[in-house]
Amino acid sequence: MKNMQKILVIDDEEAIRRSFELALEDSDFSITTVSSGEEGAKEVENGYNLVFLDLKMPGMNGVQTLKKIRESFPDLPVYIVTAFHKEFLTELDEARQLGLKFQLLRKPIGSVEIQALAQCVLDKPVNFN
């Protein structure tokens, strides 16, 4: 299908990646999943419309990955999906002060929410400030 909207999911947890895949299975989105920040930063170069990014990951964490993504894609919508972000509060604040755009989402997120989020972000670009 041409011009299919592309979503990238970066999460080290198999269950989370599968969740996104299942939720968006029959949708108009094409979904790619990777299991680390390093892979994600590389994969995003292939051009995506929306990124769901985990915060706590071995290797590059969410904030570091976000910085890397923002080097090439300053306006790509990125949702940082996290179970618990307190230990990253300072890093997240720092990223915000650097002007890096992102939105926080708290786990768990159900399939209806995932579909709705994808739909509204991709149909109508959301202001990320």
Partner 1 sequence: MIELSSLHIKRYDSVIEARNKVYTLVLDLEARSSVATRLSSLVSEILRSILKQQKTTNVKLAFTKSAGNYYCCILISCAEETYSKFKDNLFFKDVILNFQKHDEPVLEIKLKIMNKQFIPNDDFLTSERERLIQQSGTEMLQEIKRKNKELSKAINDLKSSSNMIQTEKMRALGGLTAGVAHELNNPMMGILNFIQYAIKHTDEDDRKYNPLLDAEREIRRCQSIIDNLLTFSRLKAEGEENFSEDKLSSLCERILQLYSYKIRSANINVIKNFPTQEPTVHLKTNKFQQVILNFVTNAIDAMRESKKRDLTFSVVDCENKIELHVADSGPGIDEETMDKIFDPFFTTKETGQGTGLGLAVSQSIIEEHNGTLKCQSTLGQGTCFTVGLPLLNDSCKK
Q: Is 31 in the site for partner 1 (CB under 8 A)?
A: no
Q: Is 7 in the site for partner 1 (CB under 8 A)?
A: no
Structure tokens at 112: 């209806």
Q: Is 34 in the site for partner 1 (CB under 8 A)?
A: no
Whether the CB-CB separation of 120 and 114 falls below 8 Å is answered with no
The correct pick among 7, 9, 16, 57 for binding partner 1 (CB under 8 A) is: 16
Task: Give the sheet arrangement for strand 5-10, strand by strand.
Answer: 29-34, 5-10, 50-54, 78-82, 103-106
Q: Is 109 in the site for partner 1 (CB under 8 A)?
A: yes
Q: Is 40 in the site for partner 1 (CB under 8 A)?
A: no
Between 1 and 15, CB nearer to partner 1: 15
Burial of residue 103 (number of CB atoms within 10 Å: 0-12, 13-18, 19+): middle
The correct pick among 68, 107, 119, 126 for binding partner 1 (CB under 8 A) is: 107
Q: Is 96 in the site for partner 1 (CB under 8 A)?
A: no
